[in-house]
Amino acid sequence: MSQELVYGLHAVQALLKGSPQNVQELMLLRGRKDQRLQKIILQAEKNDIALSFVDRRTLDDKVEEGANHQGVVALCVGKTKVHDEKFLLELLEQLDQRAEAPFLLILDGVTDPHNLGACLRSAEAAGVHAVIAPKDKSAGLTPTARKVACGAAEVLPFVTVTNLARTLQQLQQAGVWIFGAAGEATQDVYQSQLTGPMALVMGAEGSGLRRLTREHCDHLIKIPMAGEVSSLNVSVATGVCLFEAVRQRGG
């Protein structure tokens, strides 16, 4: 089984809370006195996880260049929370049984792990049930994405699908309305009804929504822009749209 890294205080804390059994070892910065780090140590000791106290260089070497590990790196196995189409259909069934309207986020080819992480963080905070992305040409749950997600990647289901257009159709058949976010849309997000079963689709950093994805949307919505800049960063736009939906859905 391949080993994965999770680093950063929030991400590691969430990992120890959600799936401590998957953590093989925790590497901590020697001599660092930080309350949050102490909490992590206690949590790890409670779960009999091996701890090693190392110098900064050893931790820096474990993560991508320039990444801020905040003095903690977890080595894990078998913790990948990446789900498939079958999981999504089961999730829809469960929500139906609980009479809960699906609230989904779809990222149509977001490739920057920082953006994926930021979208996951906002989605989790907004109460989204799952985040969906195409398997190919999209950022995956890399250590960077997990770190930026601040723990959201450890708790929010992340579903990858081979054919996004087919998934959109399946969602529509299940009664989910598809709202694509696009700067050139005529419908304003604040005038849209986002209270029912819905999936918000966000486009890629450079190219926006793909043609086929766009064609499968029931509505295209825009965030009105007052200035000269033509678009928002995808994670910012995700936050704006999701929290408008949260507002309408009564929090």
Ligand X SMILES: C[S@@+](CC[C@H](N)C(=O)[O-])C[C@H]1O[C@@H](n2cnc3c(N)ncnc32)[C@H](O)[C@@H]1O
**Residues binding ligand X (CB under 6 A):** 181-183, 202-203, 205, 208-209, 222-223, 225, 231-234, 237
What is the rounded CA–CA span in Å between residue 77 and residue 137?
A: 25
- Distance of closest approach, residue 123 Cβ to ligand X, in angstroms: 14
CA 70 to mean position of chain CA atoms: 21
Question: Is position 92 annotated in a ligand binding site?
Answer: no
Q: How far is the CB of 106 from ligand X (least distance, A)?
A: 10
> Considering beta carbons, is residue 202 or 245 the nearer one to ligand X?
202
Q: Residues near 73 by Cβ (< 8 Å), separated by ≥ 6? A: 5, 6, 7, 12, 26, 27, 59, 62, 63
Residue the block writes with tokens 């195409």: 134
Q: Identify which of residues 75 and 105 has a Cβ nearer to ligand X in the complex.
A: 105
Asked whether residue 232 is marked as a ligand-binding residue, the answer is: yes
Q: Work out whether strand 3-7 and strand 219-222 pair parallel, antiparallel, or are unpaired.
A: unpaired
Contact 155, 128 (CB under 8 A): no
Question: 44, 22 in Cβ contact below 8 A?
Answer: no
Closest separation in Å from C-beta 234 to ligand X: 4
Nearest by Cα to 131 from 200, 216, 223: 200
221 labeled part of a ligand binding site = no
Task: Provide the minimum distance between the beta carbon of 222 and ligand X in the complex, in angstroms, as a whole number.
Answer: 4
Q: How many CB atoms lie within 10 A of CB 73?
A: 26
Q: Which is nearer to ligand X, 62 or 219 (CB)?
A: 219
Measured from the CB atom, the residue of 69 and 222 that comes closer to ligand X is 222
Q: How far is CA 124 from CA 101, 103, 117, 246, in A?
A: 16, 11, 11, 12
Nearer to ligand X, 109 or 151 (CB): 109
Minimum gap (Å) between residue 143 Cβ and ligand X: 24
Binding-site entries for S-adenosyl-L-methionine: 203, 223, 232
Q: Which residues are annotated as a binding site?
A: 203, 223, 232
